[in-house]
Structures are given as structure tokens and as C-alpha cells.
Structure 1
Amino acid sequence: MPRRALILLEDASNGRLYLQAAQRLGLHPITLAADQAQCDLLAAEGMEAIRVDTDNLDALIRECSRLRRTFDIVGITSALESVYATVGKLCRHFDLPGPNAASIERCCDKFVQHQMLAKAGVPIPAYRLAVNATDVESAAAEIGLPVILKPVVGSGSSGVRLCRDVEELAEHTTFLLGGKHIWRSSPRMLVEEFARGPHYVVNIMGNDVVGITAAEFGPPPYFVFRQSICPAPLSDDGHERMGNVSLSCLRALDLGWGPTCIEFRWTKRGPVVIEVNPRLAAGQPKLIQLAHGVDLIAEHVKLVIGGDWDLRKMHSHTVASRSLLPDHDGTLDWISGDGRAAALPGVVEVKLRVKAKTPIVRQGDWRDSMGYVIATSPDLPRTEAILQQAVDLIDWSITPFPTDDATVAGCEAVIRGGNDGACS
């Protein structure tokens, strides 16, 4: 009898968790990725990976058809938003359970998403579409500064910035249109009202709200996640209101199969939807599992292979995580204290993503995090105290780069290329 295989398109922040969940469920995971280096890295970890152009649907169909001669392919999925619509098309082609590709494509276009949410009466910030600097300037004038300027398509806060005055607006417009931002399609930008208030992430599987996380960002003008608390310290009414709006989003966007995460700001007019993501957010599954005992990734894999899931909460703990964010650019001389932090009672995980002599160039998005700490306990005050104690044990030194522009540019290229080596 052929081995039951799960196909994963590309690797992402939650990708390893999908691989591990598949193995626990007795499946053989196979990753299809466009980057040979990514395939080599997975292979070095004992995982099967095949290089394929994941932007080419026909090439993916051919590769999956080839694999079916050896394996019983029982499911296809991905942790990466940019290929999730392709997952839906592959599932339809091979008659496997999967998301609606058209719904995913509409949702991943933030302008179309905003239009559909607005039409359904879902509370969202004021917004305008812009394709050039003139559009950006006029849209900001109509909405009123400050505004958020971001790409219509993208994730991980890449290219997203709060523009508090006309100078910041012009600077970020130049950044987006001047060749520094990598566009997956023709440049389109969203100019959006800055909704003020606490930030929340609602985690949904199917039509069930599994957990809500409160999140804080690092210093503006960027939106880099700094700290998260799960479950969010909300009243029952707050949970209910946010849950009801979330379900309205699913109906408006024709979602409701598999995972969704919805970001909110709680403003003076109540919960306002910032964006809907048809996937699990990076880091959220781990928080949900620690807080409630629900393994969202394993339950998603069960759905993908046509099984029954179980979203029952097994316990109720308070979990908090903190990202380790640098306050300036330069070369990381050293970072230490992670071992002592990990040894503290209540600390679940300490992970460092950087090593000594690594160039640190802040990008204003998810890449800025040098690592994280996660703590848990039965109550919020104790969890926050444990987390702070652990973070205080971790220290580092960053020597600013020389003022030579060429040196700084070279380090930026290293960071964007994903190279861990130091610049010289």
C-alpha cells in the first residue's frame, strides 16, 4: 500500500509546525518549493523537498501527478498566504478538500477585501486606492493625516508604514515606488485611515472563533509585533462583539473553510477590522495551543485530509510572548542570557534567530525580530512578571555601522538576501 502523503507548497513561519503535525498524524510530508536553497535546508533536516516553480500551476499539477505514482496524496496545503489560492486550485484539480481559490484571491487583495467588507457593512477604516504619488497625496488629503500607506498585496507588515505628516508620506511613497520594495504584481497601494486603539488578533477555524490575542507593536512608524497576550484580557461583551464581527467578515468574503485570522483595532466606535487573512498567523498557533490546548495546525491538517477536527478547549492558561527588537542598526557583537531565561519556571520557550557578527538592518517588518520569549502561568499578572524577568536576563550589544553609505548598502543587501554572514 502506498504511503499517505501531504503536499506542502513552500515553507513559511509555520511551515515546520505543519511538517511536524503531518508526521504525528502518520503522514509523509513533501514540500514543493521554488528555491533550491530552501529545499536543501529541508533535506538537511530529513524532510523531503522538491524544487518546483510554485507560481506555475501546470508545473505543480505535473509534479503532483508524478508523485501520485508513488504516494497516496491525501491532502495539499500551505502555511504561506501568497500560494494559498494555488493550493485551492490544486485541491480542486485533484478532487481533494481545500479552500475556495477565488475567495482566497479576493481576500489577499486588500483593496478588493475592503470593498467587500464595506459593502457588507463591516466596520473598517476609511481607505483609498493609489497607483502613483499623486494618488497617494490626494487620498491622504481626503482621509486626513495620519494615514497608513501599504501595498495592496503582501503580508508580515512588509511595506506598511504610519505616515504622520506630508514628509513621511512622500518618503514612504518614494520607498514603495522607487525600487526598494519588491512587488509581486503591478504596484498598487492602499491609503488607510489610522484606526487608534488596542490591537487584537482573532483566530478562527472554519466558522469557530478559537481564541483572541491582544497584541502590541514596537515604536512607530512601523508595525512590528512586540508583545502578545492570549487570551486577550477582554470582557465577555468584548469577546462576543469581536466574534460577531469576525463571522460577518467570513460571510462577506465567502470564507469559512479552514483557518482565518482577523486583525482588529478597538476604537471609540468599537471593533474595527484592519484586515482579514485567510491563513494562520505566524506565532498564533503556538499561543493558542499553550493557552487553550487546541493545536490549530494539526486540526487544519485533519481538515485538509478529509478528517474530523476537534476544537474543544482542554485548559485555560495565560500566555505572553515578547519579540526581541533592536533599537538601532549595526553589527551584532554578542547576544546572551537565553539559557538563563529558558531555565526560569514558567518560561516555555526562548528562541534566538541571530548569531554574533550578524548585520542588523531594521526593515520595519517581521524580519526585525532577533528572537522571542514565551511564558505561561494560570493568571495574567504572574505571566507578565515571568516574561519580564526572562527578557531582563537577555542582553546584547550592537555596534553601529560605519557611516560609509556603501557599507550600509552592502549590509542591507545581505539582510534582504537572508544571509546570516556578516558584512565586511
Structure 2
Amino acid sequence: MTTSASVRPAPRYAVFVEAPFTGAGQDCARFLLERGVTPIVLASRPQAMPASLLHDFTGLGVEIRRCDTDSADAIVAVCRELAAQGELVGVTSVYEYYCDMGAEVAARLGLAGPDPAAVAVCRSKAAMRRAMAQVPGLNPDFVVCASIEAAVEAAAEVGYPVVVKPVDLTGSLFVRRCDTAEQVAEITRQVMELGEYLGHAVEPEVVVEECVVGAEYSAEVMHGKVLGLTEKICSAPPLFLEMGHVFPAPVGGDLERLLVTKAEQAVKAIGVTWGPAHVELKLTGDGSDARVIEVNGRIAGDRIPELVRIASGVEITRLHMTALLGGAPDLTLACEQTAAVHFLMLEPSGRLDAIDGIAEAEAMEGVHEAHLRPGVQPGLVYEANGSNRDRSAWIIAEGADRDEALGRARAAGTRLTFTWSAADPAGVR
């Protein structure tokens, strides 16, 4: 005779559409596993995922299932199979290129999640600008252009210097400051001719924007409320590579209120008021105002969630997963120390022969992580493309304040050495 005490509860599943490279997927999976929920990662090409990512998910016991992740119907079919085996409690994505897909599938299945249309707006810099235009002072001056000629005309209208951006890429790829019509024409031509990137079709459009020259920050947002502000450390123009982040940003008073207000206005204007959002902002030249650079309908990348955890004890991924499971996350956050991430860069081109110093960097005072970017290993043949993919590694450190945390991360970075040699351009990645 079977008693009720011996009946095993039905399994509970949460589906992730693809996974980013910087740890958010693994962090979400750990939280779900602690609560008896089985995470399933859907990937179009599991064999092409970075070895470190596969290693982490295997160690957690997380299944990676092959699926056409560009098809909502295919994802829905997998989800219904899981629902027939147990309870499907959530569908999402924490990977930039698939956040809109995760939201669309969740909505189709009647599960918790953000407005799919709002997340789709975040995937297009053109749609994002148009949505925020309803609130004066959020956008810099901008023009959306579908030809080289239009981009050159727009730059003259906006006034040099300008920033030219593809409408649907991420990681600062092909984002350039331009000071002349020739520079505008050249970067626009490159975007128009790109065709695809990482397997995704690239829209042959650019946004030509006013160049906002002040300090840069990001706001980490949950359910439309700013949890905290991050200082962003960027490369020199014409590129806009993110070289480091500090949380919490050393701001207060009127400046903090300005950035928080602008970020919350931006997510409200777009409609991303459920779950996480990451809003990037820059101060105007005199520091009296700010403009929104972009809004991402997801958790921040670049290990910013880990900085938040170290500084405050709050894990943004857990807040997101709490909401996914139907709970009400606690949106209060207080920091007792500062955390910083410092990025190291690959050589402009060549073959990577050896990497040394990881253990020494990790052993330094205050260091939490010394980590190679997925795919960076001896034998890599590389040519820089002016995006965040040009990074070789990151160091995360804590400190009593900004200078101590960032100083420790940068000092640890000097312990890493990368040995390069010339390489055949035909083998470049």
C-alpha cells in the first residue's frame, strides 16, 4: 500500500533561453536548485558554448537541451513537454540577445515576466530612443538612419562630435565617436555591410547621436525601482569599451537623485517595470544634467551583480528569480563596503601562447575573482574588433572605498601575463 508520505512531489522546472558568459545564468541556477526547482537551459548550439560555461552547468547538474532558440514555437513546445512531466514555474533569459524571446514565451504560457513588447523595445536602440522621447531630457539629440548619406546628413544636423551606433548590437560593438563626415560614413558602411553577428541578422540601420561627454554611470533596477548606482570606467574615444565598474558609485545628494530619477523615468517610459533592468547614463559636459545612453531589459552584465553582492549582500539574480517564482523581492539595499571589477585587454592581433599569474592574482588581498574571459586560452588566434569581446580577463576586488577596491583590482591585474606571437590572419577569430 502506498501512503501519501511516500509520494514524491512533481518536479518543478524553470527554462532559460540561452545563457550569457559572465555568470548570471549559473547564479540563477544555484538559487533555483536551492528551492527545489530544476533549471533547464535551451541552446541552439550547445557544443559551441564556451567550455567554462559548460563546465559550470555540468557541475551544477543543469541540463542544456538543444532547441531552436530563435523560434518561440520551438521553445513553447519544449516548455509544454516539461509541463506535462511536472510544473513549469518560469521561463526567462538573462542573455541580452534572448531577453525578448524569454519574455515572449513566458507571456504565451501565462507565466510571470516583463511585458514582451517593452523588452523588445530595449533590443532596438532606435525603438528605445523613440519610446523615451516622450519624456523631455532623457535622450540626447538623435536621428535614426538607414543609409550612409542619411547618417552623414544627420551628423551635420546633430553637430560634431557625434556617436554612431548599430541599432541592435551589444557590448559596444561598432559604436564609435566620429568627428568628421568621413568617419561617420566609414563606420556606417561597416554596420550596413555586416549582415550578421554571432548568428543573428544585423539591421542595416544606425542611430546618430549627440556625443554626451560627462562621467558615465549605470542604474541597477528591479521592478522599476533603482537599487543602486554603478560607476563605469570607459576607454578613450573613439571607442566606448567598458574597462571597469565600481559599486556603489561614489555619488550622493543632488547627483544621486538626478541619476535615480532619470533611470526610473526611462524604464517607465519604455515599460520595463517588472523584473530587472540595467540603465546606462552619462552626465552632460557641465555635470548639471544627464542623458540615458541605453536601457537593457535584463540583469547587468560584466559581473556587476557580483559587485552588488560583495558590497551589499544582495544578489540581484535572486531578486529576479524570486519574482519569476511569483514572490515579492525585497528592494532595500545598503552597502558596507565597495567592490570593483577591472578588465584586462587582449593584444590587437596575434596568437596567444601562454597565460600566467592567475593564482598569484587571486591570492592578493581583497581579491574575489581573477577570471579569464570564456574562450581566452593558449592557442587563441585573435584580432581586436573594438568591442567588449576584446577583453582577456577580469579581476574583482573589495575595499573600504572606491580607491581601495579599484586599486586592489588593478594591482592584481598586473600579476597576469599573456605571451603572444604573430599569427596567420587566416586563422583569426
- So what's the TM-score if we normalise by structure 1? 0.91
| Equivalent residue, structure 2, for 1:297 | 317
Q: CA deviation at 1:22?
A: 1.9
Is the aligned partner of 1:239 residue 2:256? yes
Given that residues 342 and 348 in structure 1 are in contact (C-alpha distance below 8 angstroms), is that contact kept between their aligned partners in structure 2?
yes
Q: What is the one-letter code of the residue matched to 2:414?
A: D
Q: CA RMSD in A?
A: 2.0
State the secondary structure of the residue aligned to 2:398: strand
Note the alpha carbon deviations across 1:20-71, whole angstroms, 9 max, x for none. 2222332110011111415793775432121111221122211111111113
Q: CA deviation at 1:139?
A: 1.0
Q: What is the one-letter code of the residue matched to 1:24?
A: E
Given that residues 228 and 333 in structure 2 are in contact (C-alpha distance below 8 angstroms), is that contact kept between their aligned partners in structure 1?
no
Note the alpha carbon deviations across 1:170-228, whole angstroms, 9 max, x for none. 32122112237536254111111111011101100112211111111123322221111
| Equivalent residue, structure 2, for 1:357 | 379
Given that residues 167 and 203 in structure 2 are in contact (C-alpha distance below 8 angstroms), is that contact kept between their aligned partners in structure 1?
no
Q: Which residue of 312, 318, 333 maps to 2:353? A: 333
Is the aligned partner of 1:31 residue 2:41? yes
Given that residues 260 and 278 in structure 1 are in contact (C-alpha distance below 8 angstroms), is that contact kept between their aligned partners in structure 2?
yes
Distance 1:114 1:53 in 2: 30
| Equivalent residue, structure 1, for 2:405 | 383
Q: CA deviation at 1:327?
A: 4.6
| Equivalent residue, structure 1, for 2:219 | 202
| Equivalent residue, structure 1, for 2:5 | none
Is the aligned partner of 1:3 residue 2:11? yes
Q: CA deviation at 1:305?
A: 1.1
Distance 1:138 1:251, change over 3 A: same
Given that residues 341 and 406 in structure 2 are in contact (C-alpha distance below 8 angstroms), is that contact kept between their aligned partners in structure 1?
no
Distance 1:257 1:385 in 2: 36
Given that residues 328 and 400 in structure 1 are in contact (C-alpha distance below 8 angstroms), is that contact kept between their aligned partners in structure 2?
no
| Equivalent residue, structure 2, for 1:213 | 230
Q: Which residue of 382, 389, 411 maps to 1:367? A: 389
Distance 2:371 2:211 in 1: 32
Q: CA deviation at 1:10?
A: 0.8
Note the alpha carbon deviations across 1:74-114, whole angstroms, 9 max, x for none. 11111123322222222222221111111112232211211
State the secondary structure of the residue aligned to 1:324: strand
| Equivalent residue, structure 1, for 2:427 | 411
Note the alpha carbon deviations across 1:149-174, whole angstroms, 9 max, x for none. 11111222222222232332232122
Distance 1:258 1:292 in 2: 19
Distance 1:385 1:155, change over 3 A: closer
Q: CA deviation at 1:321?
A: 1.1
Q: CA deviation at 1:290?
A: 1.0
**Which piece of structure 1 moves more, 35-44 or 187-196?**
35-44
| Equivalent residue, structure 2, for 1:61 | 76
| Equivalent residue, structure 2, for 1:280 | 299
Distance 1:312 1:249 in 2: 20
Q: Which residue of 72, 97, 103 maps to 2:112? A: 97
Runs of 4+ more than 4 Å apart = 42-45
Given that residues 122 and 248 in structure 1 are in contact (C-alpha distance below 8 angstroms), is that contact kept between their aligned partners in structure 2?
no
Distance 2:282 2:203 in 1: 29
Q: CA deviation at 1:9?
A: 0.7
| Equivalent residue, structure 2, for 1:167 | 182
Given that residues 163 and 210 in structure 2 are in contact (C-alpha distance below 8 angstroms), is that contact kept between their aligned partners in structure 1?
yes
1:50-89 to 2 correspondence within 5 Å?
50-89=65-104
Distance 1:196 1:314 in 2: 30
Distance 1:86 1:300 in 2: 17
Q: What is the one-letter code of the residue matched to 2:349?
A: D
Q: What is the one-letter code of the residue matched to 1:264?
A: L
Distance 1:24 1:271 in 2: 41
Is the aligned partner of 1:136 residue 2:142? no
Is the aligned partner of 1:188 residue 2:188? no
| Equivalent residue, structure 2, for 1:398 | 420
| Equivalent residue, structure 2, for 1:127 | 142
Distance 1:38 1:6, change over 3 A: farther
Q: CA deviation at 1:330?
A: 1.1
Q: CA deviation at 1:129?
A: 0.9
Given that residues 38 and 62 in structure 2 are in contact (C-alpha distance below 8 angstroms), is that contact kept between their aligned partners in structure 1?
no
Given that residues 99 and 258 in structure 1 are in contact (C-alpha distance below 8 angstroms), is that contact kept between their aligned partners in structure 2?
yes
Distance 2:203 2:290 in 1: 32
Given that residues 155 and 208 in structure 2 are in contact (C-alpha distance below 8 angstroms), is that contact kept between their aligned partners in structure 1?
yes
Given that residues 138 and 266 in structure 2 are in contact (C-alpha distance below 8 angstroms), is that contact kept between their aligned partners in structure 1?
no
Kindly tell me the number of residue pairs found equivalent between the two proteins. 407
Q: CA deviation at 1:388?
A: 2.8
- So what's the TM-score if we normalise by structure 2? 0.89
| Equivalent residue, structure 1, for 2:6 | none
Given that residues 96 and 305 in structure 1 are in contact (C-alpha distance below 8 angstroms), is that contact kept between their aligned partners in structure 2?
no
| Equivalent residue, structure 1, for 2:276 | 259
**Which piece of structure 1 moves more, 209-218 or 310-319?**
310-319
Distance 2:121 2:364 in 1: 45
Q: CA deviation at 1:256?
A: 0.9
